[in-house]
Structure 1
């Protein structure tokens, strides 16, 4: 048992040293899911965020990681959500400068955020139209 505890603590330490940071914003996901309940067709993303961001992107299901890297302009982007293989979520990625600060997984049961491969927006123009099927 002590071996497992030591191994776990070692992994935590290595993660901290490598600068691992959980950037999935689960509170934003809950807020979005609540805002999208019922007959809502528009949602202002900026009103739901509690962090600084300059630009955000919505990626539809099955978007390849290469496409996300090109759109975001961040070649080191890792597909934490596995979006390239999933059809149950849209991915919302927030940038501040040239750094990814947060992402949120939005369940498709609440609708779609557009028809394009990606949809980018800024805090001053952050009202998205939700298409329901």
Structure 2
């Protein structure tokens, strides 16, 4: 009986340490799409759309590998979008300190997105450029 109790406690501990607290922010995705769908707009200001704390955000292009994502973030993050095999989305990952807090999958919708040469976004340097085809 003790072994089962220990096993259950370890299982809860492992589950508690998982990325389950990393939120897929679909409301933010919808806000981004409303800007992308407006052909008169060429930029997305992330600070104006976010309602959570973050200090860095990284934009990953289609076919980004798991290794490249973790290297860029500087932390472990299991990519839930499987972007390494996809060309239809960009992955935007937000960090607060050294922890991933939220992410969005941005459908291309006939557009490409870039943060130019910045490397990552910050609340004070938060613009994603939209390049339409």
TM-score range, shorter chain: 0.7 to 0.9
Measured on the aligned residues, the alpha-carbon RMSD in Å equals 2.3
Structure 2 spans left out of the alignment, 5+ residues: 1-10
- For the residue of structure 1 that corresponds to 2:21, the secondary structure is coil
Choose from 18, 23, 26 the match for 2:15.
18
Mark the CA change 1:110 to 1:124 in structure 2 (over 3 Å): closer, same or farther: farther
Q: Using the TM superposition, give the Cα deviation of residue 21 of structure 1 relative to its aligned residue in structure 2, in angstroms.
A: 2.7
Deviations 1:95-129 (A, max 9, x none): 00000000000001152122879941101010221
Count of aligned positions: 119
CA contact (8 A) 1:46 1:126 kept: yes
The residue aligned with 1:96 is 96
More strand by share: 2
TM-score (norm 2): 0.80
Does structure 1 conserve the Cα–Cα contact (< 8 Å) formed by 2:22 and 2:100? no
Instruction: Work out whether residues 61 and 86 of structure 1, in 8 Å CA contact, stay in contact via their aligned partners in 2.
Output: yes
Runs (4+) off by over 4 Å: 14-17, 115-119
